[in-house]
Amino acid sequence: MHCRLKPKISTVSKSFYVTTPIFYVNDAPHIGHAYTEVACDVLARWHRQRGEETFLLTGTDEHGEKVLRTALGNQTDPKSWTDKLVTESWLPLLKTIDIDNQDFIRTTEPRHEVAVQKFLQKLFDDDYIYQGSFEGNYCVGCEEYKNDGDLIDGADTFAGQRVCAIHSKPVEQLNETNYFFKLSQFQEKLLDHYEQNPTFIQPASARNEVVSFVKSGLSDLSISRSKERFDWGIDIPWDSEHITYVWFDALLNYITAIGYGSDEEKLKSLWPADVQVVGKDILRFHAVIWPAMLMAAELEPPRQVFGHGWLLVGGEKMSKSKLTGISPNQITDIFGSDAFRYYFMKAIGFGSDGSFSWEDLSARYHSELANGFGNLASRTVAMVNRYYDGVIQAPGEFTDADKRVSNIAATATREADLAIAQIAPHEAIAKIWTLVDELNSYITTQEPWVLAKDPAKNERLSTVLYTAVEGLRCLAVLLYPVMPKATGRLWDSIGSSLGALADQPLSSCETWGLLQPGVKLGELEALFPRVEESA
Ligand code: MSP
C-alpha cells in the first residue's frame, strides 16, 4: 500500500514580547529606570493573565565611552566595573521592584557579541555598510552624534558654549575614519512603514515628531569607532581596527537575546516584539535607526515603539549625572514595592512627564491604598470572620445593588483591558478603581453591621458579604499585575480554593459567583500598614 506522508509543518505560535531599553551601567539605577521596568512588567503580567505566553526582556548596555570613562574614573577596568554594578545594583533592582522578567541580557555576553558580528557581517556583505570619514559633534552622555541644531546655549560654567540639551555639557569634536550604515536609503521605506502602521510609534505626539524628523532627511549613520581612541566594544568583524558604535551594538540586544543567529525557532516565536517601551529621549534610535537596521537585515520591525515621559526633578529629567537621581530603595524601604509600582503607574499618565513628590506618594498611599483598597479588604474579611466564623455563606437572591457590583466588575475588566492594549496603565488602574470605589460605597449603603443585628436579615447579610468578597476576588485578579505582593496576600485569605492567583484568567472577573459557599477565609493582615509621618 502506498502511504503518503504529510509534510511536517512546524507551527510556531507567537508569544507576547515586551522589552525595556537596556540600561547604561555607568551608575546604579534610579527611579526613572525603575519606572520603565515597572511599566513593562505590568504589561507583561497583564498579558500573561489574559492567557498569552509572555516574554519580558530587560538588561544592561555595557560598552561605549561613557561606561569606559566611568570605570577608569573609578580606578578600575570596564569589565570589573560592569560586573560589579550588574551584580550589586542592576540585578537586585529587579527584586526590589518585583520584576518578573524572562531574560536579562548583558551586551558583554558572548551570545550577544557573536550575534552582533553576524548581523554586521550580513549588512556588510549585502552592501549596506561602507567606509567613510566622520567629522562632527558627539555627546558621550547620550553616546550620540549631534547636529549643530541639536545643541543649546550653555549656562553657568559652560556659558558661551553650545551644550547637549539633555546633559547640559559641551559636546566633543570627532574626526575619524568610520564605517557607515546606509540609513539614508531607508527614508521612504520608513515613511511608508509609519503610514501603513499608524500605531507603530506611540503616543501620537511622539509619532508626529519622528515623522517630521524623517521627512526632513536622513544621513548615513557612523556605526563604528576607531580603536585609536578607545576599544571598549565589539570588534567590527572585517576590520579589527574598529569597534562597533555602542547604539548599533545595544539595539541588537532585542534580537540577540531571543536567538538571532543561533536559534531561529525561538526568534520566530517571539519576533517581532509586540511593544518596545523606551524613554522619549531615545525614541529616534528605536523608531528610525532600529527599524531601518531590521529592514536591511530582512527582519520585520517591532509592532510598536512606545516613548514614555520623564520623571522630572526641578523641571528637568531626573538623572544621576545631575545628582538628582533617587534610588528605588529609598521609596520601597518605606512604602514597599507594591506602593512604588502603583504610585508611578497611577500618578503619571504614561507618555507624559511627571514630577515625583514624597508628599503626593504619601497622600496617595494613605488615601488610595491604605484607606481605599486595604481597608475595604480588611473590613470585609473581618466581617465574614465576625459574623460567620470566616466561612463564606451561600448568597440569597441578588438585588439591583448587588448586580451593580458585578456589572461594574465586568465593565472595569473590559475597559482596563482596552487601556492596557493602548499602553495606558494609568487608565487601566483608574478603571479598576471604579470597583474599589463601588465596593466601598456598597458596604456603606448596605450596612452589614446593621443587618447583623437582626436574625431575620441573615440571608441578606450573607448576600452582601458574598458580593463584597466576590468583588475582592476580582480586585485581586485585576490588580495582581500592578501589585503582586498585596494581591497575593489577599488571595491567600480569600481565593486560594480557586488555585494560584497568577493562574486566574482576567475573564474570571467577568464571571460572578466563582467563590464557593462553605470555604473558610484565612487571616488577613493590613495590606498597606500606615507609614509614620516622620518617615
Ligand atoms: N543604554 C541606552 C538604551 C539602549 S536601548 C537599546 C540608554 N540607557 S539609560 O540608562 O540612559 O536610560 C534608559 C532608559 O531609562 C530611558 O530610555 C528611560 O526609559 C529610563 N529613564 C532614565 N531616566 C529617566 C527619567 N528621568 N524618567 C523616566 N525614565 C527614565 O539610554
pLDDT tens digit string along 311-340?
998 788 887 766 678 999 999 999 999 999
Average pLDDT, the chain: 94
Give residue 314's pLDDT: 77
Q: Do residues 160 and 146 lie in contact, with contact meaning Cβ atoms separated by under 8 Å?
A: no
**Distance spanning both ends of the chain, measured CA to CA:** 83
Using the predicted structure, report yes or no on whether residue 3 has a pLDDT greater than 80. no
What is the tens place of the pLDDT at every residue in 420-438? 999 999 999 999 999 999 9
Give bridge partners of residue 152 from the DSSP assignment.
Answer: 163
Atom 7 of ligand 1, nearest CA residue: 23
Give residue 149's pLDDT: 85
Helix axes 31-49, 328-335, angle to 10 degrees: 60
Atom 17 of ligand 1, nearest CA residue: 279
C-alpha cell at 114: 557573536
Q: Which helix (H) or strand (E) holds 313?
A: strand 311-313
Pocket lining: 61 vs ligand 1, CB cutoff 6 Å: yes
Helix axes 425-446, 400-421, angle to 10 degrees: 170
433: region left, alpha or beta (phi > 0 left; psi from -120 to 50 alpha): alpha
d(CA 203, CA 391) in angstroms, rounded, equals: 48
Kindly report the three-state secondary structure assignment for every residue of 428-451.
HHHHHHHHHHHHHHHHHHHCHHHH
pLDDT band at residue 7 using 50, 70 and 90 as cut-offs: very low
Atom 9 of ligand 1, nearest CA residue: 23
Mean pLDDT lowest among 131-140, 211-220, 500-509: 131-140
Using the predicted structure, report yes or no on whether residue 153 has a pLDDT greater than 50. yes
**pLDDT-above-90 percentage for the chain:** 87
How confident is the model over 445-470, as a mean pLDDT?
Answer: 98
Whole-structure pTM over 0.85, yes or no? yes
Secondary structure E strands in 182-215: 201-202
Give residue 322's pLDDT: 66
Q: How close is the Cα of 20 to the center of ligand 1, in Å?
A: 9
d(CA 341, CA 338) in angstroms, rounded, equals: 5
Pocket lining: 467 vs ligand 1, CB cutoff 6 Å: no
Q: How close is the Cα of 250 to the center of ligand 1, in Å?
A: 12
Ligand 1 atom with minimal separation from the 313 CA: 26
pLDDT band at residue 533 using 50, 70 and 90 as cut-offs: low
Atom 8 of ligand 1, nearest CA residue: 23
How confident is the model over 332-350, as a mean pLDDT?
Answer: 97
Give residue 476's pLDDT: 98
Give residue 106's pLDDT: 98
Q: Which of 26, 27, 33 to mutate to test the pocket of ligand 1 (most atoms within 8 A of CB)?
A: 33
Cβ atoms < 10 Å from Cβ of 57? 23
d(CA 56, CA 35) in angstroms, rounded, equals: 15
Q: Do residues 136 and 146 lie in contact, with contact meaning Cβ atoms separated by under 8 Å?
A: yes
Which of residues 461 and 145 earns the better pLDDT score? 461
Q: How close is the Cα of 253 to the center of ligand 1, in Å?
A: 15
How confident is the model over 216-231, as a mean pLDDT?
Answer: 94
How confident is the model over 369-389, as a mean pLDDT?
Answer: 98
**pLDDT-above-70 percentage for the chain:** 96
Nearest CA-CA partner of 32 in 353, 253, 360, 336: 353
Pocket lining: 318 vs ligand 1, CB cutoff 6 Å: yes
Ligand 1 atom with minimal separation from the 281 CA: 17
Pairing label, strands 305-308, 201-202: parallel
Q: Do residues 180 and 328 lie in contact, with contact meaning Cβ atoms separated by under 8 Å?
A: no
pLDDT band at residue 534 using 50, 70 and 90 as cut-offs: low
Q: Do residues 179 and 238 lie in contact, with contact meaning Cβ atoms separated by under 8 Å?
A: no
Q: Do residues 64 and 233 lie in contact, with contact meaning Cβ atoms separated by under 8 Å?
A: yes
The CA–CA distances, whole Å, from 526 to 12, 376, 501, 523 equal 45, 10, 19, 10
Give residue 5's pLDDT: 42
Contacts of 122 (CB under 8 A, 6+ apart): 297
Cβ atoms < 10 Å from Cβ of 348? 22
pLDDT band at residue 413 using 50, 70 and 90 as cut-offs: very high
Which of residues 174 and 451 earns the better pLDDT score? 451
59: region left, alpha or beta (phi > 0 left; psi from -120 to 50 alpha): left
Give residue 319's pLDDT: 78
What is the tens place of the pLDDT at every residue in 481-494? 999 999 999 999 99
C-alpha cell at 329: 530603595
C-alpha cell at 288: 528610525
How confident is the model over 41-65, as a mean pLDDT?
Answer: 97
- Would you call the peptide bond into 301 cis, given omega within 30 degrees of 0 as the criterion? no
Q: Do residues 294 and 119 lie in contact, with contact meaning Cβ atoms separated by under 8 Å?
A: no
What is the tens place of the pLDDT at every residue in 72-125? 999 999 999 999 999 999 999 999 999 999 999 999 999 999 999 999 999 999
Using the predicted structure, report yes or no on whether residue 273 has a pLDDT greater than 60. yes
Ligand 1 atom with minimal separation from the 312 CA: 26
Pocket lining: 35 vs ligand 1, CB cutoff 6 Å: yes
Pocket lining: 307 vs ligand 1, CB cutoff 6 Å: no
What is the tens place of the pLDDT at every residue in 475-484? 999 999 999 9
C-alpha cell at 501: 492567583
Q: Which helix (H) or strand (E) holds 490?
A: helix 484-494
Active site members: 30, 33, 139, 142, 164, 167, 317, 320
Q: How close is the Cα of 376 to the center of ligand 1, in Å?
A: 37
Nearest CA-CA partner of 183 in 256, 247, 258, 261: 247
Mean pLDDT lowest among 244-253, 353-362, 375-384: 353-362
464: amino acid identity, one letter:
V
Mean pLDDT lowest among 164-173, 342-351, 373-382, 404-413: 164-173
